[in-house]
Amino acid sequence: MARITAIHIYQHDLPVVGPAYKMALSSLTALDTTLVEIVTDTSISGFGETCPLGPTYQPAHASGARAALQDIAPHLIGMDPIQTLNISRRMDNALSGHAYAKAAIDIALWDLSGKLLGQRVCDLLGGATATSVPSYYAIGITSPEEAARIAREKQAEGYARLQLKIGGRDIEEDIAATRKLFEVRAPGTRIALDANRSLTTRDAVLLSSACRDLNFVLEQPCDSYGEIRALAGKLHHPLYLDECATDLATISGAIHDNVADGFGMKTTRVGGLSPMRAVRDLCHATNRPLSCDDAWGGDILAAACVHMGATVHPHLLEGVWIAAPYISGHYDSDNPVTIENGRITVPTAPGLGITPDTSAWTHVATAS
């Protein structure tokens, strides 16, 4: 039986390639990611990561993740890393909330368990359905013409699903960008419009009504669950929850209330792979599509999302979004998580399948 002997906490900057990536409520030029390494008395380590999308996307921020991890880590020394449920309960006893920080520990435990048992994380999560998973490309807020240009390019690269960011401007511009994108949409390409909670209920209704002839999903149009619930019966398009899908209880309630037709899920938002497994099973039981994504992050988070996505039934998987096309550099140059022809190959080595070079990271703290 292995025991946790040390937990190292690191920080790393992930620069955005090219111009700033624009969403309705923020503009990104770099990401501040937090990484953990859990070391055992077997000398085998597991790695996890959490990367809040700036301080305003959700109630989560990078320095908060590191502060929370420094409070939690000492309580986990000596525990059996395979007992993920017991460790989750110990984390909750040590610190209430902060699921996004605890997610880094949870992901590292799954990586470690896979290495200790000689199994891939997707196998421990129930088994992969294929050797690769579909990805999708998110087009930032831009002009209608530029959105159409990017859509052509990404469809030629093999993406079968595109997401268009909307919001933060006059709703007529969003309508124009949507229509321009559909002018170049190839048959079979699925489209999602993601407002990142920036629209009023009025503008969400106006957009859906003005584009009722176009086939797309509307993702997280408004800020609060109450606003989104008020849209029931007023839209002409399926509605997906993203930022409001914060935990299993909320997701279950949205399904019960017939508010959500699907979900844009973020692994670290709900606390890691352990709660994401429960979300996956709930969506399967209720026939709700979902994506397996994260806010951003590097190869560790990307691998975690790919392993989870590989276990989702193909007809329910909206795709696995990873930040690789938007940022520079990889943690493991021999096994980078990348997209080819619109798909991501599931790593084949035990655990997450990533052996990061920690020398590139800034050490923050160690609990032992």
Q: What is the CATH number of domain 124-345?
A: 3.20.20.120
Pairing relationship of beta strands 290-293 and 317-319 according to DSSP bridges: parallel
C-beta of residue 86 within 8 angstroms of C-beta of residue 69: no
Cα separation of 112 and 106, whole Å? 10
Q: Which residue in 102, 115, 165, 180 is the catalytic one? A: 165
Pairing relationship of beta strands 362-367 and 137-139 according to DSSP bridges: unpaired
List the chain pLDDT tens, one digit each, 368 residues: 899 999 999 999 998 887 777 666 667 777 899 999 999 999 899 999 999 976 667 777 889 999 999 999 999 999 999 999 999 999 999 999 999 999 999 999 999 999 999 999 999 999 999 999 999 999 999 999 999 999 999 999 999 999 999 999 999 999 999 999 999 999 999 999 999 999 999 999 999 999 999 999 999 999 999 999 999 999 999 999 999 999 999 999 999 999 999 999 999 999 999 999 999 999 999 999 999 999 889 999 999 999 999 999 999 999 999 999 988 889 999 999 999 999 999 999 999 999 999 999 999 999 99
Cα separation of 22 and 24, whole Å? 7
Q: What is the CATH number of domain 4-118+357-367?
A: 3.30.390.10
DSSP for 77-113?
Answer: TT--TT-HHHHHHHHHHHSSS-HHHHHHHHHHHHHHH
Cα separation of 159 and 154, whole Å? 6
Catalytic annotation on 154?
A: no
Amino acid at site 355: T
Report DSSP state, residue 168: S
Cα separation of 326 and 30, whole Å? 10
pLDDT tens, position by position, 26-38: 677 778 999 999 9
Cα separation of 42 and 3, whole Å? 8
167 SS3 class: coil
What the block records as the tokens of 92 is 């909750």
Q: Give burial (CB, 10 Å; 0-12/13-18/19+) of 70.
A: middle
Write down the domain spans for the chain: 4-118+357-367, 124-345
What the block records as the tokens of 15 is 């620069």
Cα separation of 165 and 167, whole Å? 7
Q: Which residue in 102, 154, 180, 266 is the catalytic one? A: 266
Catalytic annotation on 165?
A: yes
- State phi, psi for 193 to the nearest 5 degrees: -105, 120
